[in-house]
Amino acid sequence: MWLFGRNGPSGFSSSSTAEEVTQGIDGTGLTAIVTGASSGIGAETARVLALRGVRVVMAVRNISNGNTVKEAIVKEIPSAKIDVIELDLSSMAAVRKFASEFDALNIPLNILINNAGVMATPFSLSQDGWELQFATNYIGHFLLTNLLLEKMKSTSGSSGIEGRIVILSSEGHKMTYWDGIRFNKINNPAEYRSYLAYGQSKLANILHANELARRLKEEGANITVNSLHPGVIMTNLFRYQNSFVNAAFGTIARFVTKTVPQGAATTCYVAMNPEVKGVTGKYFNNSNICTPSSKALDQELAKKLWDFSMNITQA
């Protein structure tokens, strides 16, 4: 880990910002989708990509909030090219609707950033009957990625520019149920533990990235897939915590958390920095390659989760 501003091999650290890790990079002609771009590090990611010339499609649950962020970006960057499309990741029908609306734009897709998420929610089921954190953080993004994959392949094939899929996970993936992914107990309220279920969804994100990276490399596609931990940032991700937890965390926050610009740095680094060209199936933290948990590196678990997810999303 490269804490307290100490640079890692990439030359960047926990204190680096999204603007710093993309300094001098020209993204003109590129198109990116950023999920959860209406607040927090998603909004900052969209802003910095737009600043570098990338056309950004903001995939947001709340259109009003998305348009407010878009207006702020365009006010700061008059040349920014921004689209706002509704996306509710907890609904597979809504994910399919988003993919259809994006396809109707008839534009290329170079970068997909699976950023949106919820954390430690009270137990509830999605519209499709899956535990909400697993549905929103993982299943929705798994389906979205698969629906957009052919567009990314055609874009990278015709342009010769490497496509990049960036999947946000968390160090929280290390704090999950003892068996990692509870395939037969995901929707069991009796054994639900909000933070362990969050860790399960974040572990699934890394396993997804690793397995997709393996498959794309095997078929020779010019697309990389990597996962990352953005850091601990006080955003509305903490909205489900009680007041005591938030008050206690707030007291020490200035010692252990990142600012939003710092929180968006690793995402922007993996999405745009030329140092990451050709790097795939890796896990990043503080804009440097790191080692995730042993469960996250379990290839058999990744394959099992892939098959499980394909069955869910094709139903």
Per DSSP bridges, beta strands 288-290 and 111-114 are unpaired
Buried b (16+ CB within 10 A) or exposed e, 20-43: bbbeebebeebbbbbbbbbbbbbb
- Round to the nearest angstrom and report the end-to-end CA distance of the chain: 41
Residues with active-site annotation: 192
Six-digit token pair at 207?
Answer: 């396993």
Task: Specify the 3-state DSSP secondary structure of 111.
Answer: strand
Q: Cβ(290)–Cβ(1) under 8 Å?
A: yes
| Cα separations in angstroms, 285 against 8, 16, 175, 185, 269 | 10, 12, 17, 30, 10
The CA distance from 208 to 309, in Å, is 9
Q: Cβ(58)–Cβ(46) under 8 Å?
A: yes
The CA distance from 116 to 103, in Å, is 20
